[in-house]
Amino acid sequence: MDAGLAPSQARYRRPSGRAMTDKEFIAEANALARDFYGLMGYGVPKGYRFHRATHPKERLCWQMAVVAFERLRQTAIDGIAGE
pTM of the model: 0.71
Angle of the 22-39 helix axis to the 56-73 helix axis, nearest 10? 120
pLDDT at 62: 96
Q: Which residue has the higher pLDDT, 40 or 2?
A: 40
pLDDT at 44: 95
Q: What is the C-alpha end-to-end distance of the chain, expressed in Å?
A: 23
Q: Of all residues in the chain, what percent are helix, strand and coil, respectively (each to 5)?
A: 60, 0, 40
